[in-house]
Chain A
Amino acid sequence: MTYARRAWIILWKDLLIERRAKEHANALLFFCLLLLFLFQFALGPDRERLAAAVPGLLWLGFILAGLLGLGRSFLGERDNDCWEGLRLTPGDKSAIYLGKLAGNCVLMTAVEIILVILFGVFYNVDLWTPAAPLALVLALGTIGLAAVGTLFAAMTTQVRARELLFPVLLLPVQVPVLLATVSATQALLLGQPLADVAHWLKLLAGADLVYVTIGLLTFEFVLEG
């Protein structure tokens, strides 16, 4: 079986489970909706202020949703005793990482798209005009978040105090992704052209490349335990 095929099987399996059980997607969507309300309550009804805070809130929402969603991505394997099965799969273990990463990206993207639409509706921001460049920022940021998140999720699944350790490990590492995506989103919402945020996009792309490479190289050591 080829490498890509093995990664695809993992991705397919995860998406199938998600489609049938809808364990994560439903809860995550509701969580995002709650976040929207909480942000509103925390910042008050001032529309101007909310609109100015949207890029930060948006990415804070993605990251919080990511913490919940990504952190759970290996729990099923552990609880259903599939960890051994994953370990026994022949061939390069990084294919499993790639499949899991792809699955997480799909899930995150689905949640993000809905969250963006909700933000547009509730906070009265025009997210439609800069939609295409925004999608690029979104995609790059999601890969960066999911690449480290998937790796750390696999790691912390076996650790006690998982719920605490996962965010404590993931959040500081994600600072560059947060800074880059928030800055780029802010500029795009202010109507600046894509060229003005090119340096942020390059940074994101570079970070994604580094994170995914490290994930691929080190995943087999994580899976061992």
Chain B
Amino acid sequence: MTRALGWLAVLGLVVGIAAGFGYAPREAIQGNVQRIMYLHVPAVLTAYLAFGLVLAGSIGYLATRRPGWDRLAAAAGELGVLFTGLTIVSGSIWGKPTWGTWWTWDARLTSTAVLFMVYVGYLLLRSLIEDPDARARYAAVVGILGAVNIPIVHFSVKWWRALHQPSTILGPERSPIDPAIGLALFVNWVAFTLLFAYFLSRRMEIARLEEQT
């Protein structure tokens, strides 16, 4: 089952790359640089999915005390940091030719970086506690606080400054996006979600086996 999911993810990524490089047209203003979006946007959406699962796993653990919930939170936390890192790196590579700088203290960049740091702290906490029960409980508290803090961070940083173009996909009004680009993006998003699901189930399985020894 997990293996099938893995192959499905590979297939999705292959189709996604083909769609991103072959099917989707060259963007009129930014040129080929825009194609980083097919990595950048799915990565950030996957990261948010991961942090949502950290929250779910954390609440689940505190409510039921079943270690499975903790394994979910732990695996999702690691993947969330991974995909947030991908988001920041890919955005940075895109930003250099487009904005002319690797990094700028724009609202969305800053809040993503803060998010990254919160969950690196979460992983650090996990790595420093040996007792599985205490680790799960403490991590759950941080996992809940970190997730609830996301909107607060978002607004504080947004009011602080803004340069990032408004979100085209999750924005309030329908975006002027080429349907081919939209489709390529969608394919890549599905592929990333599959990949995430595969990593997550593998990571949770490894954690379960580790607990048995």
List chain A positions with a Cβ less than 8 A from chain B: 148, 151-152, 155, 158-161, 165, 168-169, 171-173, 175-176, 179-180, 183, 199-200, 203, 206-207, 210-211, 214, 218, 221-222, 224-225
Contacts and interface: CB of A to CB of B under 8 A. Distances in A.
Contact of B149 (A151, A159, A173, A224): A173
B14 interface: no
Main secondary structure of the interface of B (DSSP, over half): helix
28 contacts: A148-B145, A151-B145, A155-B125, A155-B141, A165-B124, A165-B128, A169-B124, A169-B142, A172-B114, A172-B117, A172-B121, A173-B118, A173-B149, A175-B156, A176-B152, A176-B155, A179-B157, A183-B159, A211-B145, A214-B141, A214-B144, A218-B140, A221-B140, A222-B137, A222-B138, A222-B141, A224-B134, A225-B137
Contacts of A224: 134, 137
Given A171-B117, A218-B144, 8 more contacts: A148-B145, A155-B141, A159-B129, A169-B122, A172-B114, A173-B118, A176-B156, A225-B137
Interface in B82-126: 114, 117-118, 120-122, 124-125
B131 interface: yes
A223 B152 CA distance: 26
Q: Chain B, interface size: which category?
A: 20 to 34
Nearest to A210: B148
A172 B111 CA distance: 10
Contact of B128 (A159, A179, A211): A159
A168 B124 contact: yes
Contacts of A155: 125, 138, 141-142
A163 B174 CA distance: 49
A207 B128 CA distance: 28
A210 B145 CA distance: 9
A113 B148 CA distance: 30
A218 B62 contact: yes
Interface of B: 62, 114, 117-118, 120-122, 124-125, 128-129, 131, 133-134, 137-138, 140-142, 144-146, 148-149, 152-153, 155-157, 159-160
Contacts of A225: 131, 133-134, 137-138
A221 B152 contact: no
A158 B134 contact: yes
A75 B124 CA distance: 21
B159 A165 contact: no
B42 to A, nearest CB: 24
Per CB-CB distance, the 10 closest pairs between chain A and chain B, nearest first, are A176-B156, A172-B117, A225-B134, A172-B118, A179-B156, A218-B141, A169-B121, A176-B152, A221-B137, A168-B121
B110 to A, nearest CB: 8
Contacts of A169: 121-122, 124-125, 142
Contacts of A152: 142
Contact of B152 (A158, A161, A168, A207): A207
Contacts of B160: 179, 183
Residue of A172, A180, A221 with most chain B CB atoms under a 10 A cut-off:
A172
